[in-house]
C-alpha cells in the first residue's frame, strides 16, 4: 500500500482551506478534496468576527484585497420591531463567501497544496491508516484526515453520526440585494419563527440571510409569500425589503441545519468547523470558529509530526480538550439565546431588560464570541 505523507483534508470551505494554508505554511504536505467548484455562493450571514484577524495576518492573508466592509455597530430588534442599538465589542468585516472561500483557495494553491475537485464517498480507518474514496474512483491513503465537510454531508451518514440520523427542522435562505444600507452596520432582526441578518459585503451588495423553522415556512406557498407575510412583519425588515432589489436570479436555500452536539473526533477523523459543531447563526461567530478550530488542529498535528505529541490517542484527546475549552461555552449560550428568542413574550421581556441595562447586549455578544486570537511565534 502506498501511504501518502500528505495530510488529507475533506471539504474546502473556510475551515478546510484555512487548515490547508496553515499546514503548508509550516512545511507539511496537504491534499484537499472539495466537491464544488470555486468561486461559489453559500448560504451565510457573511459577517466575520475580527477575532481572527491576527491569525489571518500570521497566515499572510491580506484581507484588504477583498474590499470587505468594516462593521462596528449592531441593530437588534424583536418580532414586533422594538429595537436596541449597540457598538460591537470587537467588530467584524463583511465579505461574501463567494469571494472569501475563493481567496483562501488561491492562497492554498500558491502555498503548494493539492486541491482536487471530487466528492468524497467514504473514509475508512484501519490499522492506523485512512482510506479515502471519491466518486471519480480516486483512493487516497494517509495517516491523518481532517474532516471539514460542513454542516451536513453524505459522509456524516456514512459515519452514522448521531445528528445526521435525526431530521432537523431549520432551513435558511440568503440572497444579495442592491440598495441603501450602512456599511458599518449589521442588523439582526427577529420575526415569528426565525431571525434575519442584514449587512453589507464587498461591491456594495447587501446580504440578507435568514433562518427559520420548517413549520413556519410550510404554511406558505413560496419564499416570496413567506418573506412578505412573515419576515416583513418586522418593520425594520419590511423597510429593508422595500428599499432594495435582489441581485441574485433567485435566493439560495439550505435545509436540515442541525445545531445538535457533534463528536469532535469520530472514527479518528479530526473534525473542524461546522463538522465539529455549529453555533446558532444569530451569534455571527461560526466562520471565526471554523477558522480558529483549523488553527488549533494544525498546531497539534505539527506537534504530532515533531513527536512532541506521542501518539494518535494523545493527539485526539488534546484536540477534544482544546476544542471544548475554546468553543463549548459559546455554542451553549448561542443555543440558549436562540431558544429564548423563539418565544416572542420572552424576547420582548428580554428586550425591556436590555433597554433598561444597555450594557447587557455587548456583554451577551462577548459571551458568544472569542477574544482576539493571540499568536505565539
Ligand atoms: C443561515 C446561516 C447564517 C450564518 N451566518 C453567519 C455569519 O454571519 N457569520 C458567521 O461567522 N457565521 C455564520 N454562519 C455559520 C458559517 O456559515 C459556518 O460556520 C461556516 O460556513 C463554517 O465553515 P466550514 O468550512 O466548516 O463549512 P462549509 O463552508 O460548509 O464548508 C464545507 C465544505 O465541504 C464540502 N463538502 C461537503 N461534503 C463533501 C464531500 N463529501 N466531498 C468533498 N467536499 C465536501 C462542501 O462543498 C463545502 O465547501 C451562518 C450559518 C447559517 C446556516
- Domains of the chain, first to last: 7-166+258-367 (3.50.50.60)
Distance 124 CA to ligand 1 centre (A): 23
**What pLDDT score was predicted for residue 377?**
65
Residue 51 CB–ligand 1 contact under 6 Å: no
Question: SS3 for 226?
Answer: helix
- 147 within ligand 1 shell (Cβ under 6 A): no
373 in contact with ligand 1, CB cutoff 6 A: no
What contacts 209, CB < 8 A, 6 or more positions away?
43, 44, 45, 46, 172, 173, 174, 196, 197, 281
Enter the C-alpha cell of residue 144.
491523518
- Looking from the CA of residue 16, the nearest atom of ligand 1 is 25
Q: How far apart are the first and last CA of the chain?
A: 37
Whether the Cβ atoms of residue 111 and residue 61 lie closer than 8 Å to each other: no
pLDDT string in tens for the chain (377-residue length): 544 568 999 999 999 999 999 999 999 999 999 999 999 999 999 999 999 999 999 999 999 999 999 999 999 999 889 999 999 999 999 999 999 999 999 999 999 999 999 999 999 999 999 999 999 999 999 999 999 999 999 999 999 999 999 999 999 999 999 999 999 999 999 999 999 999 999 999 999 999 999 999 999 989 999 999 999 999 999 999 999 999 999 999 999 999 999 999 999 999 999 999 999 998 999 999 999 999 999 999 999 999 999 999 999 999 999 999 999 999 999 999 988 887 878 888 888 888 888 888 999 999 999 999 988 76
E strand or H helix that includes residue 147: strand 145-147
Of 18, 136, 150, the residue with max ligand 1 atoms within 8 A of its CB, to mutate for a pocket test, comes to 150
Ligand 1 centroid to Cα of residue 155, in Å, is 15
Neighbours of 214 (CB within 10 A): 14
Contact 219, 152 (CB under 8 A): no
Q: pTM of the predicted model, to two decimals? A: 0.97
Is 334 close to ligand 1, i.e. is its CB under 6 Å away? no
Residue with cell 471530487: 118
Q: Compute the distance between CA of residue 135 and CA of residue 34 in angstroms, rounded to an integer.
A: 12
Cβ 146 under 6 angstroms from ligand 1: no
How far from 193 is each of 45, 98, 255, 258, 354, CA to CA, in Å?
A: 17, 28, 15, 16, 21
Alpha helices for the chain (secondary structure H): 14-25, 53-58, 97-110, 154-158, 162-165, 214-217, 223-229, 235-242, 286-305, 312-342, 344-356, 360-367
Determine whether the shortest distance from the Cβ of 104 to ligand 1 is under 6 A.
Answer: no
Tell whether ligand 1 has an atom less than 6 A from the beta carbon of residue 288: yes
Predicted pLDDT of residue 163: 95
SS3 content of the chain, % helix, strand, coil (to 5): 40, 30, 30
Which residue's CA is minimally distant from atom 8 of ligand 1?
A: 45
Q: Is 12 in the pocket of ligand 1 (CB under 6 A)?
A: yes
| Ligand 1 close to Cβ of residue 25 (< 6 A) | no
Cα–ligand 1 centroid distance for 321 (angstroms): 23
Residue 360: all three cell numbers together: 447587557
User: Which one, of 208, 205, 251, lies nearest residue 67 by Cα?
Assistant: 205
* Grid cell at residue 52: 481572527
Nearest Cα neighbor of 57 from 94, 16, 18 is 18
CB 286 near ligand 1, within 6 Å:
yes
Atom of ligand 1 nearest to the CA of 40: 49
For residue 277 and ligand 1, the question of a CB distance below 6 A is answered with no
How far does the centroid of ligand 1 lie from the alpha carbon of residue 1, in Å?
A: 33
Give the distance (Å) from ligand 1 centre to CA of residue 15. 8
Distances (CA, A) of 34 to 12, 37, 172: 5, 8, 22
Instruction: Tell which residue, 18, 52, 61, has the closest CA to residue 297.
Output: 18
Contact 75, 236 (CB under 8 A): yes
Q: Find cell 404554511 and name the residue.
A: 219
Are the CB atoms for 22 and 298 separated by under 8 Å? yes
Predicted pLDDT at 9: 98
Amino acid at each position: 500500500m502506498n501511504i501518502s505523507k500528505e495530510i488529507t483534508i475533506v471539504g474546502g470551505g473556510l475551515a478546510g482551506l484555512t487548515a490547508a494554508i496553515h499546514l503548508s505554511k509550516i512545511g507539511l504536505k496537504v491534499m484537499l478534496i472539495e466537491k464544488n467548484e470555486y468561486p461559489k455562493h453559500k448560504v451565510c450571514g457573511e459577517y466575520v468576527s475580527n477575532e481572527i484577524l491576527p491569525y489571518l495576518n500570521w497566515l499572510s492573508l491580506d484581507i484588504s484585497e477583498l474590499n470587505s466592509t468594516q462593521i462596528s455597530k449592531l441593530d437588534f430588534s424583536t418580532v414586533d420591531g422594538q429595537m436596541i442599538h449597540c457598538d460591537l465589542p470587537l467588530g467584524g468585516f463583511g465579505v461574501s463567501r463567494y469571494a472569501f472561500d475563493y481567496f483562501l483557495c488561491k492562497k492554498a494553491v500558491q502555498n503548494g497544496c493539492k486541491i482536487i475537485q471530487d466528492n468524497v464517498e467514504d473514509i475508512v480507518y484501519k490499522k492506523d491508516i485512512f482510506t479515502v474514496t471519491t466518486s471519480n474512483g480516486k483512493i487516497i491513503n494517509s495517516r491523518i484526515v481532517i474532516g471539514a465537510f460542513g454542516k451536513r454531508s453524505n459522509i456524516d451518514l456514512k459515519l452514522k453520526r448521531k445528528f445526521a440520523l435525526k431530521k432537523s427542522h431549520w432551513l435558511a435562505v440568503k440572497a444579495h440585494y442592491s440598495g441603501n444600507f450602512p456599511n458599518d452596520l449589521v442588523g439582526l432582526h427577529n420575526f415569528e419563527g426565525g431571525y434575519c441578518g442584514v449587512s453589507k459585503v464587498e461591491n456594495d451588495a447587501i446580504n440578507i440571510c435568514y433562518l427559520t423553522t420548517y413549520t413556519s415556512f410550510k404554511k406558505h406557498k413560496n419564499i416570496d409569500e413567506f418573506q412578505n407575510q412573515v419576515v416583513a412583519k418586522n418593520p425594520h425588515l419590511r423597510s429593508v425589503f422595500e428599499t432594495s432589489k435582489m441581485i441574485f436570479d433567485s435566493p439560495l436555500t439550505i435545509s436540515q441545519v442541525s445545531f445538535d452536539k457533534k463528536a469532535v473526533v469520530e472514527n479518528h477523523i479530526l473534525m473542524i468547523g461546522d463538522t465539529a459543531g455549529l453555533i446558532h447563526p444569530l451569534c455571527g461567530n461560526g466562520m471565526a470558529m471554523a477558522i480558529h478550530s483549523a488553527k488549533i488542529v494544525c498546531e497539534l498535528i505539527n506537534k504530532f509530526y515533531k513527536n512532541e505529541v506521542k501518539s494518535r490517542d494523545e493527539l485526539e484527546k488534546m484536540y477534544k480538550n482544546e476544542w471544548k475549552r475554546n468553543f463549548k461555552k459559546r455554542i451553549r449560550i448561542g443555543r440558549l439565546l436562540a431558544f429564548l428568542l423563539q418565544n416572542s413574550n420572552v424576547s420582548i421581556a428580554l428586550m425591556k431588560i436590555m433597554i433598561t441595562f444597555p450594557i447587557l447586549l455587548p456583554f451577551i455578544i462577548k459571551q458568544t464570541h472569542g477574544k482576539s486570537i493571540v499568536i505565539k511565534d
